[in-house]
Structure 1
Amino acid sequence: MKRTLLILLALSCTGSITFAQKTPNITMNKKVEVVGQPKKAVVYQVFTRLFGNKNTTNKPWGTIEENGVGKFNDFTDKALQEIKKLGVTHIWYTGVPHHDVIRDYTKYGISNDDPDVVKGRAGSPYAVKDYYNVNPDLAVDPAKRLQEFEALIKRSHANGLKVIIDIVPNHIARNYKGLTNPKGVKDFGAEDNTSVEYARDNNFYYIPGKAFEVPTSPDYKPLNGEPNPLNDGKFSEFPAKWTGNGSREAKPDINDWYETIKVNYGIKPDGSKDFPELPSGYEDKGYQEHYLYWKDKDVPSSWKKFRDIALYWINKGVDGFRYDMAEMVPVEFWSYMNSAIKMRNANAFLLAEVYNPKEYRNYIKLGKMDYLYDKVETYDHLKGVIQGNAMPDPLSEIQEGMADIEHHMLHFLDNHDEQRLASPEFAGTPEKGKPLMVVSATISSSPTMIYFGQEVGEAGNEDAGFGKRSRTSIFDYVGVPNHQRWMNGGLFDGGQLTPKEKELRDFYSRLLNFTLRSDAMTGKFQEIQTINRNETANYDPGLYSYVRYTDAEKLIIVANFSWVTSSTILLKVPADIITKWQLKGGDYQLKDQLYGKMVTMRIENGAGLIKMTIKPSESFIFKLEY
Structure 2
Amino acid sequence: MKKNIYILIALMMVGLSCTKEKKEVTTKVSDIKIAKKKHVVYQVFTRLFGNTNATNKPWGTIEENGVGKFNDFTEKALSEIKDLGVSHIWYTGVPHHALINDYTKYGITNDDSDVVKGRAGSPYAVKDYYNVNPDLAVNIENRLQEFEALIKRTHKVGMKVIIDIVPNHVARNYRSISKPEGVKDFGEDDDVSVMYHKNNNFYYNPDEAFQVPEWKNGYSPLGEEKHPLEDNEFPEQPAKWTGNGSRLSQPDMNDWYETVKVNYGISPDGRKDFDELPEGFEHKDYKLHFDFWKDKDVPDSWIKFKDIALYWLEKGVDGFRYDMAEMVPVEFWSFMNSSIKMKNPEAFLLAEVYNPSLYRDYIKKGKMDYLYDKVQLYDTIKHIMQGHGKTDNIPPILDDLKDIEHHMLHFLENHDEQRISSADFAGNAEKGKPAMVVSATSTTSPTMIYFGQEVGEDGSENAGFGTPTRTSIFDYVGVPAHQRWVNNKQFDGGQLSEHERHLRDFYKRLLNFTINSEALVGAYQDIHQFNRGNTENYTDKVLSFVRWSNNEKLIIVSNFDDDNSYKFDLKLPKAVIESWELTNGDYQVEDQLYNTFKSTLKVENGWGSIKIKVKPLESFILKLK
Secondary structure, counterpart of 1:223 in structure 2: coil
Separation (CA, whole Å) in 2 of partners of 1:193 and 1:73: 43
1:423-461, CA deviations, whole angstroms, 9 ceiling, x for partnerless residues?
Answer: 121122010110000000001000000000000001101
**Residue 568 (structure 1) shift:** 1.2
3-state SS of the aligned residue for 1:224? coil
For residue 33 of structure 1, what is the aligned residue in structure 2? none
User: Residues 176 and 287 of structure 1: is their aligned pair in 2 closer, same or farther, counting only changes over 3 Å?
Assistant: same
**Structure 2 residue identity aligned to 1:144:** N
Contact 2:558 2:617 (C-alpha < 8 Å) held by counterparts: no
**What does 1:43-82 correspond to in 2, within 5 Å?**
43-82=41-80
1:65-104 correspondence to structure 2 within 5 Å: 65-104=63-102
Report what 1:3 is aligned to.
none
Give, in whole Å, the separation in 2 of the partners of 1:110 and 1:369: 34
CA distance in 2, matches of 1:263, 1:420: 31
* Contact residue 435 and residue 560 of structure 1 kept, 8 A: yes
Conserved 8 A contact 1:461-1:470: yes
Distance 1:505 1:16, change over 3 A: closer
* Aligned residue in 2 for 1:112: 110
- Please tell me whether the aligned partners of residues 16 and 245 of structure 1 are also in contact (alpha carbons under 8 angstroms): no
Residue in 2 aligned with 1:613? 613
Distance 1:306 1:17 in 2: 24
Q: Give TM-score, length-normalised by structure 2.
A: 0.94
- Separation (CA, whole Å) in 1 of partners of 2:487 and 2:199: 51
- For 2:326 and 2:216, the matched residues in 1 are separated by 33
Q: Which residue of 2 aligns with 1:143?
A: 141
Tell me if structure 1 keeps the 8 A contact 2:558–2:620: no
Offset at residue 73 of structure 1 (A): 0.1
Q: Counterparts in 2 of 1:157-196, with a 5 A limit? A: 157-196=155-194
Alpha-carbon distance, 1:531 to partner: 2.0
SS of the equivalent of 1:427 reads: coil
Q: What is the Cα-based RMSD across aligned positions, in Å?
A: 1.3
CA–CA distance in structure 2, aligned partners of residues 119 and 453 of structure 1 = 23
Using the alignment, how far apart are the partners of 1:456 and 1:56 within structure 2? 17
AA at the equivalent of 2:606: G
- Tell me if structure 2 keeps the 8 A contact 1:68–1:478: yes
Match of 2:363 in 1: 364
The answer to whether the 8 A contact 2:35-2:521 is kept is: no
- CA deviations on 1:77-129 (whole Å, 9 max, x unpaired) are 00000000000000000000000110000010000000000000000000000
Over residues 486-512 of structure 1, what are the superposed CA-to-partner deviations in whole Å (9 max), with x where a residue is unaligned?
010011111110111001001001100
Q: Structure 1: which 4+ aligned runs deviate by more than 6 Å?
A: none
Cα pair 1:37 1:347 within 8 Å, conserved: no
Structure-1 residue corresponding to 2:197: 199
2:347 is equivalent to residue 348 of structure 1:
yes
Distance 1:530 1:350 in 2: 34
Q: Residues of 2 paired with 1:576 and 1:344: CA distance?
A: 44
- The answer to which of 544-553 and 334-343 deviates more is 544-553
Aligned partner of 1:526 in structure 2 is 525
User: Shift in Å at residue 325 of structure 1?
Assistant: 0.2
- Distance apart, 1:588 and its partner CA: 1.5
Contact 2:392 2:540 in 1 (8 A): no
**Residue 516 (structure 1) aligned with residue 515 (structure 2):** yes
| CA deviations over 1:586-624 (Å, ceiling 9, x no partner) | 221112111112222222232111112110011222222
Counterpart position of 1:6: none
In the alignment, the residues of structure 1 paired with residue 595 and residue 461 of structure 2 have an alpha-carbon distance, to the nearest angstrom, of 38
- Contact map agreement 1:563 1:616 (CA 8 A) in 2: yes
Alignment partners' CA distance in 2, 1:91 and 1:362: 26
> Could you tell me how far apart the structure 2 residues matched to 1:38 and 1:67 are?
43
Which residue is 1:493 aligned to?
492
Check 1:258–1:37 CA distance in 2 against 1; reply closer, same or farther (3 A cut). Answer: farther
Query: Does structure 2 conserve the Cα–Cα contact (< 8 Å) formed by 1:86 and 1:508?
Result: yes
* 1:408 equivalent in structure 2: 407
Listed as ranges, the matches of 1:366-385 within 5 Å are 366-385=365-384
TM-score (norm 1): 0.94
Name the amino acid aligned to 2:620: F
1:230-269 equivalence runs, <5 A = 230-269=229-268
The question of whether the paired residues in 2 share the 8 Å contact of 1:87 and 1:516 is answered with yes
- Counterpart Cα distance in 1 of 2:48 and 2:600: 47
- Alpha carbons 2:37, 2:516 under 8 Å: kept: no
Tell me the alpha carbon deviations over residues 210-234 of structure 1, each in whole angstroms, 9 at most, x when there is no partner: 0000001222101014122101111
User: What are the residue-to-residue correspondences of 1:417-566 with 2, within 5 Å?
Assistant: 417-566=416-565
SS in 2 for 1:393: helix
Instruction: Tell me the amino acid that sits aligned with residue 449 of structure 1.
Output: M
Where 1:334 maps in the other structure, the secondary structure is helix
Give ranges in structure 1 of 5+ residues lacking alignment: 1-14, 19-35
Look up the match of 1:32.
none
Compute the displacement of 1:37 (Å).
Answer: 9.0
Aligned AA (2:555): I
Distance in structure 2 (CA, Å) of the matches to 1:89 and 1:360: 24
Q: How many residues align?
A: 594
Whole-angstrom distance in 2 between the partners of 1:383 and 1:571:
25
Deviation, structure 1 residue 17: 7.6
SS in structure 1 at match of 2:278: coil
Distance 1:55 1:472 in 2: 15
Secondary structure of 1:336's match?
helix
| Contact 1:17 1:246 (8 Å CA) reproduced | no
Q: Which has the higher contact order (CA 8 A, sep 6+)?
A: 1
* Mapped partners of 1:55, 1:593: distance in 2: 39
**Alignment check: 8 A CA contact 2:212 2:233 kept:** yes
State the partner residue of 1:22: none
| Distance apart, 1:551 and its partner CA | 2.2
The residue type equivalent to 1:612 in the other structure is: I
CA distance in 2, matches of 1:158, 1:41: 18
Determine if contact 1:590/1:624 at 8 Å carries over to the other structure.
yes
Paired-residue identity, %: 67
Which segment is superposed worse, 463-472 or 569-578?
569-578
Aligned equivalent of 2:40: 42
Q: In 2, Cα distance between the equivalents of 1:384 and 1:562?
A: 12
* Residue number in structure 1 paired with 2:584: 585
**Contact 1:486 1:492 survives alignment (8 Å):** yes
Whether the aligned pair in 1 keeps the contact of 2:444 and 2:520 (CA below 8 Å) is: yes
Aligned amino acid, residue 537 of structure 2: N
Please report how far the alpha carbon of residue 16 of structure 1 lies from its aligned counterpart in structure 2 after TM superposition. Answer: 6.4
- Mean Cα displacement is larger for which, 149-158 or 525-534? 525-534
1:213 match: 211
C-alpha contact 1:392 1:543 (8 A) present in aligned 2: yes
Alignment-derived partner of residue 290 in structure 2: 291
